[in-house]
Amino acid sequence: MRMLAIMLFALPLPASAFTAQNGMEAQQLNQTDIAVPFESGRLTTEYWCAAGDLAQQQMQQPVSASIWRATPKPRNSGEGLTFTLDESRKAEGAGLSEFGSGEHDGAISVGTAVSAYCDPIIPDLMN
């Protein structure tokens, strides 16, 4: 029995999921990529929030770092989204719509993903 317990602790543990401010989970896939699993009823911007929050909190990226969507459009039903910090891995034409002047490469900053798209879950204290 003792040997079994020692063997179980020696096995590698699966990567743990990160829970973003908006309650969505995200997982760092490698040095640059982030996966956000599908959640029914969630807006696309909420996926950006989860990826940006993970990049800032877990990957220690500065708020000025750029993040791109790596999952091409259209996304299949029930499929999550993958994001990347590596411009060469971005999905062309899959970023958020941008207005105004300046470079439009489909990226937003990590800081914008968090500050503009993260709505923290506020518990209902009345019930």
For the segment 69-113, what is each residue's pLDDT rounded down to a tens digit?
999 988 888 999 999 999 999 998 777 655 554 565 788 999 999
- Indicate whether this model's pTM tops 0.85: no
**Whether pLDDT at 117 is above 80:** yes
Strand order in the sheet with 25-28: 18-19, 25-28, 33-36, 81-84, 66-69, 108-109
Estimate to the nearest angstrom the gap between the alpha carbon of 124 and the chain centroid: 26
d(CA 94, CA 126): 41
Handedness of CA 33, 35, 41, 46 (dihedral sign): negative
- 90-104 burial: b if 16+ Cβ within 10 Å, else e: bbeebbbeeeeeeee
| Predicted local confidence at residue 48, as pLDDT | 95
**Whether pLDDT at 15 is above 80:** no
Residue pLDDT, tens place only, 50-71: 999 999 999 999 999 999 999 9
Average pLDDT rounded to a whole number, residues 36-43: 95
